[in-house]
Amino acid sequence: MRQAMLHGELGNVVRRLDNDDAGHMAAQKTRTANAVKTFGERVRARRLGMKVISAEYDFDGLAVTLSYSVPDRERGPDSGMLRELARELAERLGCRVELRQVGPRDEARLLGGLGRCGRTLCCSSWLPVYPEISMSMAKNQDLPLNPTKVSGVCGRLLCCLSYENEQYRQMKAVMPKLGQVVETSRGAGQVVSMHLLKELVTVRLENDLAEVAFPSSEVDFGMDRKVRIDPVTVVALPALPEEPADPEASLSVQKAPQELMAPVVRRRRRRRGGRRGGQ
Residues 6+ apart with CB under 8 A from 147: 157
The answer to whether 49 touches 70, Cβ cutoff 8 Å, is yes
User: Are the C-beta atoms of 132 and 162 separated by less than 8 Å?
Assistant: yes
pLDDT at residue 226 in the model: 43
Q: What is the 3-state secondary structure of the chain?
A: CCHHHCCCCCCCCCCCCCHHHHHHHHHHHHHHHHHHHHHHHHHHHHCCCCEEEEEEECCCCCEEEEEEECCCHHHCCCHHHHHHHHHHHHHHHCCEEEEEECCHHHHHHHHCCECCCCCECHHHHCCCCCCCCCHHHHHHCCCCCCCCCCECCCCCECHHHHCCHHHHHHHHHCCCCCCCEEEECCEEEEEEEEECCCCEEEEEECCCCCEEEEEHHHCECCCCCCCCCCCCCCCCCCCCCCCCCCHHHHHHHHHHHHHHHHHHHHHHHHHHHHHHHHC
How many residues are present in the chain?
279
pLDDT string in tens for the chain (279-residue length): 455 445 556 677 888 888 888 888 888 889 999 999 999 999 999 999 899 999 999 888 899 999 999 987 777 788 899 999 999 999 999 999 999 999 999 999 999 999 999 999 999 999 988 999 999 999 999 898 998 899 999 999 999 999 999 999 999 888 898 889 999 988 899 999 988 888 899 999 988 788 999 998 888 887 544 444 344 333 444 544 554 444 444 444 444 444 444 444 444 444 555 444 444
Q: For residue 216, what are the CA distances in angstroms to 139, 180, 181, 199, 225?
A: 20, 13, 13, 6, 19
Residues near 106 by beta carbon (within 8 Å), at least 6 away in sequence: 67
Q: How far apart are the first and last CA of the chain?
A: 109
C-beta separation of 226 from 180 below 8 A:
no
- Predicted confidence at residue 161, as pLDDT, reads 95
Compute the distance between CA of residue 64 and CA of residue 68 in angstroms, rounded to an integer.
13
